[in-house]
Structure 1
Amino acid sequence: FDVRYLLTILPSSQDSWMFHKPSPKLLKAQAAALNIKLLVQKSISKKEKETHDLKKLIKKVKDKVKYIIVGGIASSYQAERIKKITKSFNIKIYAPLWDYTQEQLWKELLENNFKLVLTKISCEGLPAELLGKIITKKHFEKIKKLSKKYKFRLDFEGGEAETAVLWMPGFDEKIKIKGRIKSEGPHRHFLIIQKIKKERIKNGIPKSEI
């Protein structure tokens, strides 16, 4: 695919029905690293209002694209609403991760050297100390054990946690972040990103974090 636009909804609440709540500064850094135009639509986090706002966003590109690519894995709630919107605009939808097993997703991310961090935790079992750390294979094994013990989804598709990518194949810069942890009770924690630094990558893949 020739990806021409990055479409992002910025919800008003951390508890959106459909979307993550990303850092606007981080979004801009990710788009710059990919050299792809970013389009952002703010949204009030009310159930069907989110669908309306997503439709407004897709409408901006409906005459310029043939496909909408989404990262959904298992959420029928998301899939049904996105399909309804794309059908109304006569656009096809492609969900490359749909029906991935929870371990398969992590396996491919780690094998392809994705550098990603947890930015939000909303379940019992995941320690706040994981926020902001590059997830290595060692971290993943720890998360997998905790997933089995505390019964949360390993792919976080149920909203148990949120992640952000700091480097992946296609990025020409690695993103570094600094921030603080905000806690709202024993099982609800957020990474508040305060500083973002971009590092130009030469000759391939950035070194793994330890």
Structure 2
Amino acid sequence: MRVCILYSGGKDSNLALLKAWKEMEVVCLVSLSPKSEESVLFHYPNTELVKLQAKSLKIPLIMKACSDDEVGSLNALREALKEAKELYGVEGVVTGAIRSTYQATRFQRICDDLELWCFNPLWLRDEVSILREALELGFEIVFTRIAGYPLSKDMLGRKITIETVEMLENMKRFVNPAGEGGEYETLVLNMPLFTKRLKIVDYEIVGSEYDATLIVKKAELVET
């Protein structure tokens, strides 16, 4: 089956991509670029970096700007998926959704309207096991946004390690360990399908102690 990946550049969409790659024909990536961190549906920080990730993956990219509200976001997604269907003969859509029925039901509705199969390979997986699997597979992941106590801005730019996973597991009372509720967002610098590693050259951190974003000002692809 020819599929596209709903791709944010973070850990979940990259893990979903890797799983789909083993069983399907991945023909393109679809990325949405919202206006701010207030986006109700899509990953916000550093969305322009998916262009470098797509180049490293050697997979065509369809990217659409969208507003932060639900209607504008879904309209942009619909247009992007229509384009993927027309240009690449896409028959299905793969997402990195884990537990958000809010996201999943809306994505499913659009796929149904466009007669596309929707596949969520991480759906209802234990969040800690997802993090551990990504690390075991060699993913290099950094935090790009935190949104809520006890996560703090000194985590931004730091790599996720086994120790980080254990810390997030111990914070279950306060945050979803996978950041599914928007508690944090990530950027993948390297994973098994990348032909080159993404390197952050320059960045700044904006925001408050418990609500902050790492803005990448310059990045490049380097040999792994």
Q: 1:195, CA displacement in angstroms?
A: 1.8
CA RMSD of aligned residues (A): 1.3
Pick one of 186, 195, 218 that aligns with 1:163.
186
Query: Residues 91-130 of structure 1: matches in 2 within 5 Å?
Result: 91-130=116-155
Using the size of structure 2 for normalisation, the TM-score is 0.84
CA distance in 1 between counterparts of 2:84 and 2:61 reads 12
What is the CA-CA distance between 1:154 and the residue it aligns to?
A: 0.5
1:41 corresponds, among 64, 79, 83, to: 64
Would the aligned equivalents of 1:114 and 1:165 in 2 still touch at CA under 8 Å?
Answer: yes
Q: How far apart, CA to CA, are the structure 1 residues paired with 2:58 and 2:73?
A: 27
- Runs of 4+ aligned residues of structure 1 deviating over 6 Å after TM superposition are none
Whole-Å separation in 2 of the counterparts to 1:92 and 1:164: 27
- Report the Cα distance in structure 2 between the residues aligned to 1:176 and 1:112, rounded to whole angstroms: 19
**Does the aligned pair in 2 maintain the 1:126–1:143 contact within 8 Å?**
no
Is 2:205 the counterpart of 1:181? yes
Structure 1 position 24, deviation (Å): 4.0
Q: State how 1:187-202 maps to structure 2 within 5 Å.
A: 187-201=210-224
TM-fit CA distance, 1:86: 0.8
Instruction: Give SS of 1:192's match.
Output: strand
Q: CA deviation at 1:50?
A: 1.2
Counterpart of 1:204? none
Question: 115-124 or 24-33: which moved more?
Answer: 24-33
Structure 2, unpaired ranges of 5+: 1-23
For structure 1, list consecutive stretches of 5 or more residues without a partner in the other structure: 202-210
Following superposition, the deviation at residue 53 of structure 1 comes to 1.4
Deviates more, 1:129-138 or 1:110-119: 129-138
Aligned positions of 1:4-153 closer than 5 A: 4-63=27-86, 64-145=89-170, 147-148=171-172, 151-153=174-176
Q: Can you list the C-alpha shifts for 1:100-151, whole angstroms capped at 9, x where unaligned?
A: 1111111111111100111000010112111112211122223333x14x51
Distance 1:22 1:31 in 2: 16
Larger Rg: 1
Q: Distance in 1 between matches of 2:164 and 2:111?
A: 37
Q: How far apart are residue 97 of structure 1 and its match?
A: 0.5
> Percent identity at matched positions?
31
| Bigger RCO of structures 1 and 2 (CA < 8 A, at least 6 apart) | 2
Distance 1:139 1:158 in 2: 18
The answer as to whether partners of 1:144 and 1:154 remain within 8 angstroms in 2 is yes
> CA offsets, 1:146-205, max 9 Å, x none?
x14x5111011101011111101100111111311111x33101001012122112xxxx
Q: 1:72, 1:78 within 8 Å by CA — same for their partners in 2?
A: yes
TM-score by length of 1: 0.90
Q: Indicate the residue corresponding to 1:206 in structure 2.
A: none
Mapped partners of 2:106, 2:152: distance in 1: 33
CA distance in 2, matches of 1:124, 1:133: 17
